[in-house]
Structure 1
Amino acid sequence: MSNPSDKAEEEFDWVQFKKDYAVSNVESKRDKLIRKIKENPLVPIGCLATATALGMGLWQFRKGNSKMSQTMMRVRIGAQGFTVLALLVGVMMTMSKPT
């Protein structure tokens, strides 16, 4: 059987380990999002353009304006391409940065 003092000692060791190796600068989700946008500002712009073109294309399709709907779907494809290109450029720039 385990001794209650052994269990308490193990818990203390874990607490001490957490204190010794704790990361002092923990980044929140909001801070991480802001940092990522600053590092690569073209990706959110491309995502917003893609979502806008998609929404407008679907709205035009619902209204029955098929010509404008097709145009907006083509714009969406272009915006998606821009987003992917911006993402790739951002990754390349991040990889080439000295740490």
Structure 2
Amino acid sequence: MTESCIAAPSWRTSYIKPREQNQDKVKMANEEPTDLDWVQLRRDMGPVHHVETTQEKFVRKFGENPFVPLGCLATAGALSYGLWCFRTKRSKLSQRMMRVRIVAQGFTIAALVGGVVMGAGKSLKT
């Protein structure tokens, strides 16, 4: 036999090495962490950034464009009152409130688009 038949093919040796590396990673993952490993992890991750709460985000967004939440409230109010009028058999007022709801939805969409345009204008200036 020739020597090339006895030697392992080159693809096989390159395949074995990553497998051994993966086994080392699995061994490390199965080890129990010590009590102070989180301290080193925190240092490795860098400084902690402030995470904005839902209330803080609402206040910030309301300050940037107050017309969107107001339009949403107007839409919800018109819808609620219109459904109440429909339930109490006041169909004329119910129809009027559904029209008011559509106007309020249009106002909300216009406020949204206006806010996006204003935001894009601010980002172009800076």
CA distances 1:5-43 after superposition (whole Å, capped 9, x unpaired): x8759x56533222x1432x3322211110000000001
Secondary structure, aligned partner of 1:22: coil
Show the counterpart of 1:64.
89
* Structure 2 residue aligned with 1:22: 48
TM-aligned CA distance change 1:14 to 1:7, over 3 Å: farther
Structure 2 residue 108 is the aligned partner of structure 1 residue 83: yes
Listed as ranges, the gaps of 5+ residues in structure 1 are none
The aligned amino acid for 1:40 is N
Distance in structure 2 (CA, Å) of the matches to 1:3 and 1:71: 69
The 5 A counterparts of 1:1-12 are 2=27, 8=33, 11=37
Higher relative contact order (CA 8 A, sep 6+): 1
Kindly provide the amino acid, as one letter, of the partner of residue 15 in structure 1: R
Where does residue 39 of structure 1 map in the other structure?
A: 64
CA-based RMSD: 2.4
Length, aligned pairs only: 95
TM-score normalised over the length of structure 1 = 0.81
Moved over 4 A (4+): 6-9
Overall identity of the aligned pairs, in %: 47
Structure 2 gap segments, 5+ residues each: 1-23
